[in-house]
Every structure is written in structure tokens, then in C-alpha cells.
Amino acid sequence: MFRIKVPRFWRYREFRYRLSAWKCIHCGEIHFFKPLVCRRCRYREFSEVTLPYTGKLLAYTIVRSPPAGFEEYAPYIIGLIELEDGTRIVSQLADVDPEELKIGMKMEATFKRIREDGVDKIIAYGYKFRPAIQ
Amino acid sequence: MSRVYVAGVGLTKVDEHWKTSLEQLVTEASLKALDDAGLESVDAIYVGSMLSEILQEQGHLGAVLAEELGLSGIPAMSVEAATASGAASIYVGAREIESGRAKAVLVAGVDKMSDGMAEEVTSALMVGEKQEYTGFIGATFYSLNALIYSLYMKRYDVSQEKIALFPVLCHEHSVGVEHAQYPFKIKLETVMNSPYIAEPLRRFETTAIADGAAALILVGEEFASKLKSPKTELVIEAATDYVTPFQREDPLWFPALQLATTKALERAKISRNEVGIIEIFDATSIMAVISLESSGFASRGEAWRLLENGELSLSGSLPCNTFGGLKARGHPAGATGVYQVAELHLQLTNRAKKNQVDRAITGMAQTLGGLASTAFVTILKKVM
């Protein structure tokens, strides 16, 4: 089970809260969490970038058999989104019923509660995508 | 470099073993393998397990198994590569034989999923993915498979009925298999009417809670000529890839499997069309299809044709998952890779009973960790 401990959660907040990521200066590969070495070209310098908040829906599914800690949220939708810059991101989808989803539709990032965990009831927040509001 | 031979195999039935512990399962399989080889002891033990540290909270399986076998004193340790952990233990054992440092090695795989609740098992099976990324948002292994499945059907314009034939084939092959978890036939309608686990992926296109252990005795040239047991020659290669398939250039392709297959064929000095039996890693139907394509046994988007033409049946040109594969023999995670190779060994030593494939002299087993972030390819050859 994915345990939410404060330091473990806090250290990844830039990506989860703001889609802040790391771009390899040499080959342009996007890394969601700060790497030491680029997985693609092995270069060691990166610039901090904010990923586009919009993109299109490539595929989606509904989690009906959830992992421990997610029981009370199931069923929930998991989607694959291709952001404007071509980066593919896996995300929960929010504010939408599955019947309203169409492959190729425009999606936008939103800031949501992911779940509560542990005896201290720590609340984890992060990005979710929803159909873009025109 | 010494050649590597399989000189003994041991299997437990894949089942929900309520009365039996993880330790008992792996000990039973290991003793059977030692007895099959006619050996009392070995130079080293490697155990593959994906879930024991999570579900049983039992690590240190090397020392645990050595003690259970009355072999404390010899070097023993566990090896982990998610669902490919069993194949990883074979890899390490085979390399030790090749190096000449060991004459005989016991390699085993074990997992016992029935000790966890459904949600705990679903969580445990996510340790092979990136926890801080997909794990954090509750994207299960099956949900990632489902995304790939949707992309595949759209790109290649293939209907689900074509892909869902894979579990039907597996169940045909498991009928009457003593060690199979589900030894009965199912119809395509049964698969297509089973509930969604993560649409489009249906329950019967995935595997279930399973307990099981399998073991092999690997020996070098020196021992191979002394032991009377039936033997096959083994070659194993491996490769890795990014853990999240959507970071890869093409999520509908398993480059690690392609690479490991090429390396294994090269080292075994055979071509694809000389492979007489193939054991595919069908953790889901869609993984089976992409595996057949990535390893070069089918063209992109066309693996379903092999199924439809009957080429993967026991009497076909490339008999596939001859004891039921992951779907019907069962998929006890870290044990699966060892089951696959043990089954090839039974085939090539003419001990496959009613599932015996005629004329095969070479077999290939593909074992994947996660969504092919790790790939092991084992080739077994009949010893003439």
C-alpha cells in the first residue's frame, strides 16, 4: 500500500501541484522528478520547466478493482493525456462521467485532493485532468 | 565458459493453498527438483519472489529455504525483478554455472497471494511500477494495461474478440494439467461477458490470486554427464526498459523483450523458425499479443492471426503456453518464470503427458517484469 508520510510526499510536491518538471538541456527529454542523469542521453544538466496545463485525451479506463487506500474512491477514471508539448502523462480524470469522454477531446489540468491516508489522516493533493472548460 | 543444463524440475500445483505456507510451498518444489535430478545438495540457492516481503513480511528467503531443506551452510539468497523474479533467479544461477564457480545450483520461484486481501494484492502488484508517479494516483497494473489495450485496438483497428481468444487458447491447453490452477475450457463468450476489471480489460483476460512454487536444478558440463536424469541445455538473456511504458517512444512495443529475444537466439545459435514451443507472458491478453509482436513471431498488429489460424495450438506450427500459460496454469508472480522454464523442460524431455508436443527440439520462455520493464528470454534445447 502506498503510504503517505510527510517527507515522502513533500519532496515531490512541485510536480504534483504545478506540473513542474525537468527538461534535459541536451536532448529535451522530460523527467517528472529531478534526475541526476538523463535516462535517454545520459547528459547531466536540466532546466526546470512547467508542463503545459492542456492536452488531448489518448485513452482512458475505469479502475474497478482498487489498491489498498483507494477503496472508498473506486470506481475512478484513469486517463492518458498528451500535453501540448507532446509529453504523455497518466492522470486521474475529474469532474466528468465516463460517458462524456471522447478520445481526442481537449483536457486541462486541475488541482485536486487525491486521498487521505494513515492514522494522522494526511491529505494528499495533486493534479487531475478534466475536460477543458471553453 | 561452461554450458548450463537443467537436470531436475519440481512444481507445486498452482492453487489457493490455504493450509500450506510460503516456506512449505517453496521447499516442496525444491525437494522435488533435487529428487528429480537425483542430487542431495547443491553449491548455491537462488530464490525469486516478488511479494513475500509485502504479503508475508518475510524476506531473507535464501537462508529460510536453505534451513527448510536442511542445507544451511551453503550460500543462498533471493533475487527480485517484479513478476520476473523467478526468471531472475534462473539468470543468476545460470551465470554462476557458466562462470565455473558452481557445479550445481538450485533456483526457485515462489509467491503466495492468498495470504493477502484483494486490495492488498492489487497494491502489492504495483511495486513493479513507479510508485511516486502512477502508484500515487492509484493507477493499477491493470489500468495501465487497459490504456495500452485501447491504444492498440485503435491504432491497428483490431476488435477485442480477436485478442480475447488468447485466454481461450490457454484454457484449452490447461485441461487435465495436474499443476494447473484452472484446468478447464472456457468459451470466447465467457471472456467477453466477464466483468470489466478496467475497461476494455475484462476479468478473464487477466490472472487471479494464485499460490505456487517451482524449482530447477542447473548443472554444468561436469555434472551433466554424471547425472542420470533427463536434461536440456539452457541459455538465458535479459534486458530492461523504462518502467512506465508511456515514457517510451512507443507504448505498444516491448523493446526489452525484442532485445532479450535477439540476444538469446544469437547465443543459442538458432533462428526464430527453429523455436518449436513458446511460453508467452500473458499476465493480460494484450501483453501476450504485444509480446508475440515485439519478439518477432508476428507482425505489428497481426498477432491475432496466429490465434485465429490455430498456429498457437498444441498441434499448430508454434505451440504456445502448452500447459495453460499464466491465465490457466496460474500466475503466482515471482514463481511464474520458473514454471515456464520447468514446463519447457517437461516438453523437451517427453514428460508432458497428454500435452506432449511432437518433434519439438527447442523451446523459448519469455518472462516479463511489470509492463516489460524487465524481460528475460530463456531457450531450452533437447539434449540428443
- Residues B189-193 have a mean pLDDT of 98
For the stretch A16-46, pLDDT in tens is 999 999 999 999 999 999 999 999 999 999 9
Q: Least CA distance to B54: which residue of chain A?
A: A1
Residue A74 has pLDDT above 90, yes or no: yes
- Return the pLDDT at A2: 66
Q: Give the C-alpha separation, B207 to B204, whole Å.
A: 7
Three-state DSSP state, B375: strand
Q: Which of B286, B344, B290 is nearest to B319 (CA)?
A: B344
Q: Which of B212, B283, B217 is nearest to B52 (CA)?
A: B212
- pLDDT-derived band at B359, boundaries 50, 70, 90: confident
Q: Which of B335, B349, B257 is nearest to B297 (CA)?
A: B257
Size of chain B in residues: 384
- Residues B84-100 have a mean pLDDT of 98
Question: CA of B139: how far to CAs of A62, A87, A93, B56, in Å?
Answer: 10, 18, 11, 24
- Residues B49-53 have a mean pLDDT of 98
Residue B129 has pLDDT above 70, yes or no: yes
Residue A6 has pLDDT above 90, yes or no: no
Question: CA of B110: how far to CAs of A49, A88, A122, B34, B246, in Å?
Answer: 44, 35, 35, 16, 30
Q: Give the C-alpha separation, B79 to B174, whole Å.
A: 29
Q: Which of A64, A68, A66 is nearest to A1 (CA)?
A: A68
- Residues B94-114 have a mean pLDDT of 98
Q: Which of B216, B262, B218 is nearest to B239 (CA)?
A: B262
**Orientation angle between helical segments B285-294 and B255-268, nearest 10 degrees:** 50
ipTM of the complex: 0.97
Q: Do A32 and B133 touch (CB under 8 A)?
A: yes
- Residues A77-93 have a mean pLDDT of 98
Mean pLDDT over all residues of chain B?
A: 97
Q: Are A63 and B138 in contact (CB under 8 A)?
A: yes
Three-state DSSP state, B71: coil
Asked if the structure places residue A66 within a domain, the reply is yes
Which residue segments constitute the domains of chain B, with CATH numbers given?
4-118+207-382 (3.40.47.10)
User: Which of B135, B150, B196 lies at the smallest CB-CB distance from A2?
Assistant: B135
Among A61, A72, A125, the residue to mutate for chain B (most B Cβ within 10 A): A61
Residue A134 has pLDDT above 80, yes or no: no
Q: Give the C-alpha separation, A30 to B179, whole Å.
A: 46
| Structural domain of A87 | 6-131
Asked if the structure places residue A82 within a domain, the reply is yes
* Percent of the residues in chain A that have a pLDDT greater than 90, as a whole number: 86
Q: Least CA distance to A68: which residue of chain B?
A: B119
For the stretch B218-247, pLDDT in tens is 999 999 999 999 999 999 999 999 999 999
User: Which of B131, B146, B247 lies at the smallest CB-CB distance from A61?
Assistant: B146
Cβ partners under 8 Å of residue B196, min gap 6: A62, A64, B202, B203
DSSP characters over B134-173:
IITTT--HHHHHHHHHHHHHHHHT--HHHHTHHHHHHHHH
Asked if the structure places residue A1 within a domain, the reply is no
Around A56, how many Cα atoms within 13 Å sit in the side-chain half-sphere? 8
- Residues B27-55 have a mean pLDDT of 98
For the stretch B276-321, pLDDT in tens is 999 999 999 999 999 999 999 999 999 999 999 999 999 999 999 9
Omega of the bond prior to A75 within 30 degrees of 0, cis? Answer: yes
How far, rounded to the nearest angstrom, does the alpha carbon of residue B371 sit from its chain's CA centroid? 13
Q: Give the C-alpha separation, B233 to B97, whole Å.
A: 12
For the stretch B133-183, pLDDT in tens is 999 999 999 999 999 999 999 999 999 999 999 999 999 999 999 999 999
Total tally of structural domains belonging to chain A: 1
Three-state DSSP state, A75: coil
List the grid coordinates of B119.
Answer: 486490495
Strands (E) across chain B are located at: 4-11, 44-48, 76-79, 104-112, 196-198, 201-202, 211-219, 232-240, 277-279, 362-369, 374-382
Q: Least CA distance to B129: which residue of chain A?
A: A2
- pLDDT-derived band at B380, boundaries 50, 70, 90: very high
- Return the pLDDT at A119: 75
Residue A3 has pLDDT above 80, yes or no: no
Paired with B25 in beta bridges are: none
> Which residues on A lie below 8 Å from B244 (Cβ)?
90
Among A15, A19, A58, A78, the residue to mutate for chain B (most B Cβ within 10 A): A78
- Return the pLDDT at A1: 63
- Return the pLDDT at A118: 75
Q: Do B146 and A69 touch (CB under 8 A)?
A: no
Q: Distance from first CA to last CA of chain B, Å, rounded?
A: 21
Q: Which positions in chain A have a beta carbon within 8 angstroms of at least one beta carbon in chain B? A: 1-2, 12, 16, 32-33, 39, 58-71, 73, 76, 78-80, 88-92, 103, 114-115, 124, 126, 128
* Percent of the residues in chain A that have a pLDDT greater than 70, as a whole number: 98
Among A10, A32, A90, A128, the residue to mutate for chain B (most B Cβ within 10 A): A90
Cβ partners under 8 Å of residue B384, min gap 6: none
